[in-house]
Amino acid sequence: MPRWTFETTPGTFTREEKHTIARKVTDLYTARGVPRFFINVFFHENGEDNFFSGGKYPPNAVFFHIDHAMSKLPDEEARKEFIAEANAIMKPIMDPKGMKWESNIYEHPRYNWRINGMIPPVEHPEIMKEWTEKDMPIAYEDA
């Protein structure tokens, strides 16, 4: 898992923009060796009176959070690099709209994370290779 969850009002993103964000987020992680099927992107459109920013509806804002469980950003340099890459995904879409966009990265304990009831085999390179090649979880002994 990484999971990016966007909170918006209806129509904030076009269908094409959503697809672009999802593709670029997926590319961000696959370049780091994360299997494609680990990566999830959600767009929650909040209707009237369900999303306020600065006490106003409709807000001229988007909030998104990034959940990481597979691994944590190892140091300050990696954190800054990751945030710069995330910003590079969002800026071309958000800045022309003149919107405020806010994000937060949550790093969760990896052993709380499950896929099909199994702890993903991050510490088992041979099994991770199979999961990545098949683009799906495969049962293994430690599960």
- Which domains does the chain possess? 2-112 (3.30.429.10)
Tell me the C-alpha distance between 40 and 49, whole Å: 27
pLDDT one-digit tens code per residue, 96-111: 999 999 999 999 998 8
Average pLDDT, the chain: 94
User: Strands, E, within 38-124: which ranges?
Assistant: 40-45, 61-68, 100-107
What is the 8-class DSSP label of residue 129? H
pLDDT one-digit tens code per residue, 106-141: 999 988 999 999 999 988 999 999 999 999 999 998
The mean per-residue pLDDT over the stretch 38-53 comes to 94
Tell me the C-alpha distance between 96 and 59, whole Å: 16
Token pair, residue 133, equals 């090649």
Tell me: pLDDT of 143 over 70.
no
The mean per-residue pLDDT over the stretch 15-42 comes to 96
Closest CA to 113 of 65, 71, 142, 66: 71
